[in-house]
Amino acid sequence: MSSETSEWSGFYKLPINERQKKIAQACNLSGEEQALLNLQGPLSLDVADKMSENAIGTIGLPLCIAPNFLINGKHYLVPMAIEEPSVVAAASHGAKLALPEGFSTTYSGSIMIGQIQLVEIKDMKKATALFDENKQKFLLLAQSSAGHLTKYGGGVVGASSRAIKTKRGEMLIIEFHINVQDAMGANAVNTILEAISPQISQELGGEARLRILSNLATMRMASASCIWKKDAIGGSDVVEGILDAWAFADTDIYRRATHIKGIMNGIDALALACGQDWRAIESGAHSYAALKNNALTYFEKTKEGNLKGSISLPLAVGTIGGSLRVNATANLCLKILGAKTSGELAQIMAAVGLAQNFAALRALASEGIQKGHMRLHARNVAAAAGAKANEVDTVVELMLKNNKIDEQAAKDALALLQKKSNPNNVG
């Protein structure tokens, strides 16, 4: 297909059906393929067209529920949008093994950091001193642009400055601390920074370049902890195995990358279901792990020989604003979850991440992660081979019995099943 600028100029201005036709023609889509673009689901094409740019359709993911989560004495049903069955199963089982005590969580508050970058400053020492002298004035100026937050009890709560040396010279970074309450806060923070940067630049000297929030939300921390009884999780050997697996990740950067991916499996699935900016959440988590040089989670053995786990990470999430205003399914998921505030949502996410990580480490330390993963994956393989809903379980069992899980094994198992069901069929 051609992608010359002239051919695609104004593509965003076309109605969604015209965009679909243009893509179908350019990519030689079949009628069946074009029909996929017109499938109407929980997110209608009209809403999708308003939510994003150049929309031509929607894409589906399974919406699942992870039960068994008891957090701060409250039971939660956790919605997860994800295609990987082992993630949902692991989160649910990890939470179940934590009963009857469940998880304890805390939240530091909904304060985001917004940054203004000043360059070409002739006298850095003077500029820093001027900021300190005028800090209160700058805070009041910023607060005057935060009316959309103050009516909800939020607003600007602090500011600081720091000089950094870069390959482009010395720069002064002005940081505002903004309480965004139950919003994720990106738009609110950026609006305030845009409004106040001209006067700050004028009074301190230099030129304001970037004016944007930081996704490393170190003033918006969610933490969770839990104790798993050794007898419930497989005994002392499993406890020791989990501790060794965690220590590996806490020390080795290559193992840590996959360890944190396992944590984010659950957090991302919950974030996606509830209409959160999971890219910002991912960025913050990985940046925080790099900043602290740790694996986000911490495991230790109690004096009784049980396993204690904890997690702490920045979680910038919201229960109001953004796409939540038009995404009915995300609002439905928040209702199922029962999270009323951004703080409650963040704490649930932290508990889910800890449960996910525990379950993965336990699988690695005992039977190996692949056995359970492949059993669940076998259902996808069976479905892809053409097994109907009432045939999938039997096809899976036949594949597992033969210790072979792939498309051909699924087709062979399906053929055998259908032959047994209809022995007179010789076609």
Q: Which residues pair with 160 in a beta bridge?
A: 175
Catalytic residue among 230, 344, 373, 391: 373
Residue 177 designated active-site? no
Catalytic residue among 137, 261, 292, 388: 261
Query: HEC profile for the chain?
Result: CCCCHHHHCCHHHCCHHHHHHHHHHHHCCCHHHHHHHCCCCCCCHHHHHHHCCCCCCCCCCCEEEEEEEEECCEEEEEEEECCCHHHHHHHHHHHHHCCCCCEEEEECCCEEEEEEEEECCCCHHHHHHHHHHHHHHHHHHHHHCCHHHHCCCCEEEEEEEEEEEECCEEEEEEEEEEECCCECCHHHHHHHHHHHHHHHHHHHCCEEEEEEECCCCCCCEEEEEEEECHHHHCCHHHHHHHHHHHHHHHHCHHHHHHHHHHHHHHHHHHHHHCCCCHHHHHHHHHHHHHHHCCCCEEEEECCCCCEEEEEEEECCCCCECHHHHCCHHHHHHHHHHCCCCHHHHHHHHHHHHHHHHHHHHHHHHCCCHHHHHHHHHHHHHHHHCCCCCCCHHHHHHHHHHCCCCCHHHHHHHHHHHHHHHCCCCCC
- Torsion of Cα atoms, 132 then 137 then 140 then 146, to 10°: -70
Q: Please give the Cα distance from 249 to 266 (Å, whole number).
A: 18
Q: Which residues pair with 169 in a beta bridge?
A: 166
Catalytic residue among 84, 203, 397, 412: 84
CA–chain centroid gap for 55, Å, is: 22
Residue 84 designated active-site? yes
Residue 259 designated active-site? no
Residue type, 413: A
Residue 302: name the closest of 142, 101, 152, 106 by CA.
Answer: 101
Residue 320: name the closest of 411, 188, 206 by CA.
Answer: 188
Catalytic residue among 49, 277, 344, 391: 277
Looking at the annotation, which residues are catalytic? 84, 261, 277, 373
